[in-house]
Structure 1
Amino acid sequence: MNEIENKRISKFLSLILRHQPETIQLKLDENGWAEVSELITKSAKGRIHFSFEDLEEVVETNNKKRFAFNDDKTMIRASQGHSIDIDLALKTAQPPDFLYHGTAESNISSILDKGIEKRSRQHVHLSADKETATKVGMRHGKPVILTIRTKKMNDDGIPFYLSANNVWLTDFVDAKYISK
């Protein structure tokens, strides 16, 4: 499969597994898992054709590890980033002292005033390194990297979770924990 086709399938999977499974009448369980055979069949009916081998390649080569199979590869789900109500069954984790959030320069005044909200997502996403945060920020305009005092947040009783693809998640970041 070429890179363009891989990206096209990946974007489609993000839409279906994170936001709109109803687009192809796909059923997700309470933890966001879908049957692989049902995904392939219903995607084809929706005119997005791919094989199990193509799906494996997309999952294995996705640089952000957005998708995961269960152990026997009969089920698939998005690792995080959902706007639909599912329970990823994440366990709390001890974050490092600092994490990073990439955003566009146009969002800075609002963030420094109101904090970082999850908005339509289930969690706020934070990165362990500035490089990843920069890439995230670039998607929205001129990037600005914010440093989040996550140890202090955690010491104050705010829980953190680490997704299967190593994205740090929390429910909200109050402005008092943010530095530019």
Structure 2
Amino acid sequence: MNKRLTRISKYLTFVLRHHPESIGMQLEPYGWLNVEQLVENANAHGKSITVERVHEVIAAQETPLFELSDDQQRIRAL
């Protein structure tokens, strides 16, 4: 995984595992967040990520850290 994707992965870990409130979100049951809303809120709080980059992070995982829902609309930490 390149440095950019590693930074995004660490940020996703921070938000999904520890502080979703840092971007004004609350986890849904079982730890899910809407991917588009997560990206929108993260960008509003000074980050620069896209839905496509989130999908790249998930595809590049050596050890599964995140999971997308079957419809690819929600993400959660494993």
Shorter chain as denominator, the TM-score bin is over 0.9
Unaligned runs of 5+ in 1: 80-180
The one-letter amino acid paired with 1:5 is R
Deviations 1:33-76 (A, max 9, x none): 00111101000011111111111000111211100100111000
Partner residue in 2 for 1:70: 69
Partner residue in 2 for 1:145: none
1:31 aligns with 2:30: yes
Shift of 1:27: 2.1
Percent identity of paired positions between Structure 1 and Structure 2: 32
Q: Number of residue pairs matched?
A: 78
Partner residue in 2 for 1:9: 8
SS at match of 1:31: helix
By percentage of residues, which structure has more strand? 1
Partner residue in 2 for 1:173: none
SS at match of 2:55: helix
TM-score (norm 1): 0.42
Partner residue in 2 for 1:50: 49
* Root mean square deviation of aligned Cα: 1.1
SS at match of 1:47: coil
* Alpha-carbon distance in 2 for matches of 1:73, 1:26: 19
* Alpha-carbon distance in 2 for matches of 1:69, 1:27: 17
Q: Which structure carries more relative contact order (alpha carbon 8 Å, separation 6+)?
A: 2
By percentage of residues, which structure has more helix? 2
Structure index of larger Rg: 1
Unaligned runs of 5+ in 2: none
Partner residue in 2 for 1:149: none
The one-letter amino acid paired with 1:21 is P
* Alpha-carbon distance in 2 for matches of 1:55, 1:46: 17
Deviations 1:75-104 (A, max 9, x none): 00001xxxxxxxxxxxxxxxxxxxxxxxxx
Runs of 4+ residues deviating >2 angstroms:
none
